[in-house]
A and B are shown apart, each in its own frame.
Chain A
Amino acid sequence: MINVALVGCGKIADDHASQLQRVPHCQIVGVCDDELLMARQLYERFPVSRYFCDLETMLRATCPDVVHVTTPPQSHFAIAKQCLESNCHVYVEKPFTLSATEARRLVALASGKGLKITVGHNEQFSHVGRRMRALVNSGFLGGPPLHMESYYCYELGGNEYSAALLGDKRHWVRRLPGKLLHNIISHGVARIAEFLISESPTVIAHGFTSPYLQSMGETEIIDELRVMISEEQRTTAYFTFSSQMRPALHQLRLYGPKNGLVLDQDNETLIRLRGARRVSYVEKLVPPLAFSAQYVANVTGNARRFLASDFHMKSGLKYLIESFYRAITNDGPVPIPYREIILTASLMEAIFSQLGAQGCSLTETPNKRGQGVCSRT
């Protein structure tokens, strides 16, 4: 039995508590939040043994094996460090840390103490994400990806998150080095990082405040971002974040030397792109039919999983938690390699530093790699 504790009892903690109920051989021994009322509401709604408003007290009283850190990102490093120092394995929600330096320090601390740590890039472990990984590992692309395109969009509009963020100049998201981008883009950036080899790819970032936000008098938040990533003339990638483009895609496109793949997270579809061309008019007639067949196969697969009650919206989170716990129990490899966690943090840091250096009121750290482009128009 794995004893689990949660730190931070907000919205994302609900997802963790829900999925933990579905994970066998674990129990939530404690939940903790600075605001005791928040800890109590989680305790009242889920099978949780105790609730606390002080992390040290909870760690001493409940002795958890694993702590899930679901607080705002500003506190991730300090809380994860404290948990590791208390000999707990740690699951940190995304974004892992505020900087690559903090990410390296946490990984080093965990490794030094023989503990495991992971980050909440759960979307990489959805059904479709796992299918894509299996195909890539089977050599479908014909080699490592030559080019990738990752779209990770977010509809800023009438939802409560947008209202809270846009209406409150002191909102915690505004205090992140990368502000809105920092809280959202790590899923999309991590998808690229998974297939990069270099530790310091070149990053060129271009960001601006959309006319939509400008019309609302917003000047701080950058909600349009385009990034080009390149590693030593081997693999290149484009990353797109947009609050305004429709559809608001969550896609990864992988192009190898032989074939390509298109993963659509929203539709949970995976489409194979055949590299070899057909002759003459056959190229105009057969591929659309083949695509139709692939979509039908995706539909039937999704329907089959739904009927088997294995198609939860947060299936990736459950899979990631289970994989992480398995790594702890068997002392096996962690589901997300540490290199990938650090590289994701490095890429994000490079993006934000470029935007900041270009006057986008983000972080003030100058970037040493690549040339950033930023505009507000």
Chain B
Amino acid sequence: MAQTDNFIINREDPILVTGAAGFIGPRVVQSLLRHGFRNVRCLTRSPRSTQRLSAAVAGYGEQGCLEILSGNLLSSEDCAAATANIAVIYHLAAGAGEKSVPAAFLNSVVTTRNLLDAALKQNGVVRFVNVSSLAVYDNAKKRKGVLDETCPIDLQPERFGDAYEFAKVKQDKIVSEYAEKFNIPIVTVRPGFVYGPGRSAISGRVGIGTFGLFLHLGGPNEIPLTFVDNCAEAIVLAGLKPGIEGEVFNVIDDDLPSSRNLLRLYKRNVKRFRSLYLPHALSYLLCTMWEWYSAYSDRQLPPAFSRKKWYRYWKKTRYSNKKVKTQLDWAPHVLTGEGLARYFESCRSAR
């Protein structure tokens, strides 16, 4: 547990968590309650979808310290209501799962801009935690390097990037613009693939299930996992630690499994299915050919596979969590072995 005496706010100060009913949100709220914060406002999009949040905070008795607010960040009135008198904002809400670029953009970028505008009017916001993604990095130029916070951001996310990546790059851009222009104290957190109970999907960095066959593309690559509780703790600390305004933190656990190992464990512990390993040279060739055919046929096949995507997801890459550990005093308390066991158990029960 981090040192609680060295936080930028008191435990009575109001905190806002957007996306509080999502996958990570309930764990962030839980972590805040565990740290003793007693004034947490949870923004959810639908009043119907709070079961996960209720389950996460069930053990923390003091219901009075939680305010659950239903609202849409596309509404400036809802943003104003959500940010009223708030000291720290944890912005987790995003257009995850959106397949169309405009929908992902609307629910990630426009919502973030609305929230930033509302925060500006408050005057009392001392920290805005922007939750982003590792997907924003341009991984093409570091052939044998380590992916860390110094890596360049993708400057052309519209070229073969998918909807989520495009939206996240643009979200980070608008956050940076606001930080620069209005001096908003922003900290950005970029988690790897967040896994844990409640999510049954296997990371796309391992491979893609299509046409009834799972194409294993990761091979010996490290998969940048972070267990949901560990990730939530890092996000919480990013909103509380002093002196880190403007910083970016990649959140990845220790002892990362290889793609091959993760797939083997998943098959053994969750379900058996057929998979075909494509060596890196072959998957690169496939992506190149797909990209070519997509252009040749005027996008008769959308550019679902491209060299850019290959670099981002399937190129052999190592990941560093040094900065988050040293500057946030963060450590992944749930070890990867235990995290995977809980994840697999949840996947089995969801079947």
A interface residues with partner B (beta carbon < 8 Å): 9-11, 13-14, 18, 21-22, 35, 37-38, 41-42, 44-45, 160, 166-168, 170, 216-217, 306, 309-312
Contact = CB atoms under 8 A, between A and B. Distances in A.
Contact of A45 (B49, B97, B101, B106): B101
Given A44-B158, A312-B299, A14 B100 contact: yes
A11 B158 contact: no
B105 A41 contact: yes
B150 interface: no
Nearest to B159: A45
Nearest to B96: A160
B322 interface: no
Contact of A167 (B49, B113, B297): B49
Given A14-B101, A41-B105, 18 more contacts: A11-B102, A11-B103, A22-B298, A35-B110, A37-B109, A37-B174, A38-B106, A38-B110, A41-B166, A42-B102, A45-B158, A160-B103, A167-B48, A167-B49, A168-B45, A170-B75, A312-B299, A312-B300
A311 B75 CA distance: 40
Chain A CB count within 10 A is highest, among B46, B49, B99, for B46
Contacts of A18: 299
Interface string B170-206: 1000100000000000000000000000000000000
Contacts of B300: 306, 309-312
25 contacts: A10-B103, A11-B100, A14-B101, A18-B299, A22-B298, A35-B106, A37-B109, A37-B113, A41-B101, A41-B166, A42-B102, A45-B158, A45-B166, A160-B98, A160-B100, A166-B46, A168-B46, A168-B72, A216-B48, A217-B48, A309-B297, A309-B300, A310-B300, A312-B298, A312-B300
A214 B110 CA distance: 32
B297 to A, nearest CB: 4
Contacts of A10: 102-103, 106
Contacts of A21: 298
B48 A41 contact: no
A21 B297 CA distance: 12
Given A37-B109, A37-B110, A14 B102 contact: yes
A118 B110 CA distance: 31
A301 B48 CA distance: 47
B296 interface: yes
Contacts of B174: 37
Contacts, number: 63
B93 to A, nearest CB: 12
A309 B45 contact: no
Nearest to A21: B298
Nearest to B293: A309
Interface in B93-125: 97-103, 105-106, 109-110, 113
User: Lowest 4 CB-CB distances: which A-B pairs, in order?
Assistant: A167-B46, A309-B297, A45-B158, A11-B100
Contacts of B296: 309
A306 B297 CA distance: 9
B298 A309 contact: yes
Interface in B294-332: 296-300
Nearest to B75: A170
Chain B CB count within 10 A is highest, among A14, A45, A170, for A45
A121 to B, nearest CB: 21
A13 B102 contact: yes
A45 B104 CA distance: 14
Nearest to A306: B300
A5 B299 CA distance: 22
Contacts of B72: 168, 170
Contacts of B299: 18, 312
Contacts of B102: 9-11, 13-14, 38, 41-42
Contacts of A311: 300
A230 B287 CA distance: 53
Contacts of B109: 37, 41
Contacts of A22: 298
Contacts of B75: 170
Given A42-B102, A306-B300, A160 B48 contact: no
Interface in B320-350: none
Contacts of B46: 166-168
A248 B49 CA distance: 27
B106 A160 contact: no
A14 to B, nearest CB: 6
A42 B106 CA distance: 12
A217 B46 CA distance: 12
B102 to A, nearest CB: 5
A318 to B, nearest CB: 9
Nearest to A15: B100
Contacts of A166: 46
A363 B109 CA distance: 35
B48 A38 contact: no
A21 B103 CA distance: 21
Interface in B246-301: 296-300
A21 B193 CA distance: 35
Chain A CB count within 10 A is highest, among B166, B174, B299, for B299
Interface string B76-102: 000000000000000000000111111
Contacts of B98: 160
A37 B297 CA distance: 30
Contacts of B110: 35, 37-38
A310 B99 CA distance: 24
Interface in B141-170: 158, 166, 170
A327 B207 CA distance: 48
A288 to B, nearest CB: 28
